[in-house]
Amino acid sequence: MLSSPPVITIDGPAAAGKSTVGKGVAQKLGFLFFDTGALYRAVTLAALQRGVPIEDEARVEALARTIRIDLIPATQADGRPYTVLIDGQDVTWELRSDAVNAHVSTVSAYPGVRQALKAQQRRIAQQGRVVMAGRDIGTVVFPEAGLKIYLDASPEVRARRRCLEMEARGEHPDYQAVLAGVRHRDKIDSTRATAPLRIPDDAVVIHTDEMTIEQVVDRIVRLARERFRTTDGS
């Protein structure tokens, strides 16, 4: 049995289902779900809203150090897994806009942004009983996690999933455009100099092309109960 506080990290490429799976795992185990990608999206959105040029690395990094980002339990029953606030303003769904999608990889590659957000991420994780989802959680943010998961799926499957998510919100996505965006995001995330996307050491790799969300969640829950002997009182 591990003596450190139970922490599960879920890494993987864009649209691999990390947020959906992480939320499901957290609900079944009674853990806090913390989607770290939301923080980078929040910084990106704040820059766009406040007229800070995305290519101005110094100003974006300064913004990341000064804004307050909060993730709290869902405040509305509209399908959101949590509520995200920037300086007290609810921006939960705005974080998934096309404009944010187009620029978040650039913002998340800035070393100063990653450093500004890392301390908050670690503080939350150290409380234990946390599921953290992102792209460098098991490699950089919390490599000592007791259970590290890497979710993967083909670009085509991930693009279809992203389209379904957008359609559920009343949008009308173009599949080829979404697929191109997923592939572009993969290239940026995998080749960036700071914390590139990679499989964490000792991670359990789960390929989800032929799996349902429920199957993925159930597998991780079983792994967590075995690893932490159990964490939900059962």
Q: Given this model, what pLDDT does residue 231 score?
A: 45
Local confidence band at 32 (pLDDT 50, 70, 90 cut-offs): confident
> Which of 14-23, 152-161, 224-233 has the weakest average pLDDT?
224-233
Local confidence band at 213 (pLDDT 50, 70, 90 cut-offs): very high
- Where b means 16+ CB within 10 Å and e means fewer, 173-187 reads beeeebbebbbebbe
Residue 72 belongs to some domain of the structure: no
The tens digit of pLDDT for each residue in 48-78 reads 999 999 999 999 999 999 998 888 778 999 9
The tens digit of pLDDT for each residue in 149-166 reads 999 999 999 999 999 988
Contact 148, 138 (CB under 8 A): yes
Q: How many CB atoms lie within 10 A of CB 90?
A: 14
Contact 44, 69 (CB under 8 A): no
The tens digit of pLDDT for each residue in 165-210 reads 889 989 999 999 999 999 998 998 888 877 788 999 899 999 999 9
Contact 206, 152 (CB under 8 A): yes
Q: How many domains does the chain have?
A: 1
Q: What is the pTM of this model?
A: 0.73
Residue 15 belongs to some domain of the structure: yes
The beta strands (E) that lie in 12-59 are given as 32-35
Residue 54 belongs to some domain of the structure: no
Residue 48 belongs to some domain of the structure: no
Rg of the chain in Å (alpha carbons): 17
Q: Residue 172: give its domain's CATH number.
A: 3.40.50.300
Residue 108 belongs to some domain of the structure: yes
What is the C-alpha to C-alpha distance for residues 102 and 194, in angstroms, rounded to an integer?
Answer: 19
Nearest to 105 by CA among 68, 55, 140, 150: 55
Domain span holding position 29: 7-36+101-227
The tens digit of pLDDT for each residue in 84-105 reads 999 999 999 999 998 999 999 9
Residue 90 belongs to some domain of the structure: no
Residue 84 belongs to some domain of the structure: no
Q: What is the dihedral of CA 90, 95, 96, 99, to 10 degrees?
A: 130
